[in-house]
Amino acid sequence: MPKEFEFEKSIIELEARIRELQVISESGKVDLSREIQAITDKVEALKIEVYGSLEPWQIAQVARHINRPSTLDLIKILCGEEFVELHGDRLFGDDTAIVSGLGSIADHKVMIIGHQKGHDTEENIYRNFGMPHPEGYRKALRMMRTAERFGLPIVIFIDTPGAFPGIGAEERGQSDAIARNLAEMSDIGVPILCFVTGEGGSGGALAIGIGDRVFMFEFSVYSVISAEGCAAILWNDATKAKEAANALKLRATNLLEAGIIDGILPEPLGGAHRNHQRAAEEIVKVIAAHLPILKKMTREELIENRYKKFRSMGRFSCEEELENA
């Protein structure tokens, strides 16, 4: 995924001009502060205009930005040096596409679990581009059980194109690992807060996405398939990804309207990839507002409410309604 988008071209050109003028101004030869401020104001106005009217396919591109804040980026901001990473599924090995461990956010001790992508090619290869193997999902489940044992709330960051579809992953039970997580997460007796920070790709995202509260960043996406995959299946043409993105209704606003998520986190002007600190601050606000409420619930209340939440999703019709349709 490129660091620059076509729809951002005018913004990037102006930002480059600002940097040039700052170098000249800092040399002391001439004061260009007024010119710099004028262009800065223009850039801010352009960001509001551009990011206020993004189409679904453009949002999907932003969600995949190489500098999008990853789980480890957010952990570093939210927990600092207090985070203790935990590894392995105790069955096969450790999966670097899933990060997990203990930390403290907004004065709450929590178990943190999340998909992990890279910020360059080398890191993405090491992290398998954020696509977990079954051992990754089993590691996540092991951490959830540990959190339940010690009464720790669980905070989950979702950002994956999907579960890894390789032969080895299938041989080691990819579908079983995902299905088991769905079942087990429904019965975890501690609060679970989920945040879709970038891509929410199909079962690979949902396998750690059964939460009491589910939130999405403004320019993240959540869907059963990627726009390219959908286009390839429907039209045998992956270049029709733009049309597929429109049909999939993968934006945060679509998911909120459908009752799939509980809220949308605003992003810094120009997207979360431009300011990780501001993005993390929005997460802190949500945790501080919702976790105290969830922590007051009994185990039975949490499980019952979580069950009702996910059972209420979708639209179902009885035979009589179908006959009258």
* pLDDT tens by residue, 124-151: 999 999 999 999 999 999 999 999 999 9
Segments forming the whole domain that contains residue 75 = 61-311
Residue whose token pair is 């398939």: 225
- Mean pLDDT in residue range 287-295: 96
**44 and 91 both lie in a single domain:** no
Find the helix or strand (DSSP H, E) in which 195 lies: strand 192-201
- Do residues 47 and 100 both lie within one domain? no
Q: What is the 8-class DSSP label of residue 224?
A: S
**260: DSSP letter:** S
Using alpha carbons, list the distances in angstroms from residue 176 to 180, 181, 205.
6, 8, 15
Average pLDDT over residues 244-248: 92
Return the pLDDT at 81: 87
Q: What is the pLDDT of residue 317?
A: 61
The predicted pLDDT at position 13 comes to: 85
Q: What's the pLDDT at 39?
A: 87
Does residue 243 fall inside a structural domain? yes
Looking at the structure, do residues 123 and 230 belong to the same domain, yes or no?
yes
Q: Mean pLDDT over residues 276-291, rounded?
A: 96
Q: Give yes or no for residue 30 having a pLDDT over 80.
A: no
- Provide the pLDDT for residue 191: 97
pLDDT exceeds 90 at position 273: yes
At 102 the pLDDT is 97
At 179 the three-state DSSP class reads helix
pLDDT of residue 308: 93
Q: What is the mean pLDDT of the chain?
A: 91
- Are 65 and 49 members of one domain? no
Domain shared by 143 and 15, yes or no:
no
Query: Which range has the worst mean pLDDT, 66-70, 148-152, 248-252, 312-316?
Result: 312-316
CB 159 within 8 A of CB 199: yes
Residues 71 and 35 in one domain: no
* Structure confidence by residue, pLDDT tens digits, 101-115: 999 999 999 999 999
**Ramachandran area for residue 88 (φ above 0: left; ψ -120 to 50: alpha; else beta):** left
Residues 29 and 101 in one domain: no
Check whether residue 15 and residue 91 sit in a common domain: no
Task: Quickly state the pLDDT bin for 247 (edges 50, 70, 90).
Answer: very high
Q: What is the pLDDT of residue 136?
A: 97
Q: How confident is the model at residue 3 (pLDDT cuts 50, 70, 90)?
A: low
First and final CA of the chain: distance in angstroms? 45
Q: Which residue would you say has higher pLDDT here, 13 or 267?
A: 267
Q: How far apart are CA 230 and CA 157, in angstroms?
A: 24
Residue 158 has pLDDT above 70, yes or no: yes
Indicate whether 221 and 109 sit together in one domain.
yes
Task: Please give the tally of structural domains in the chain.
Answer: 2
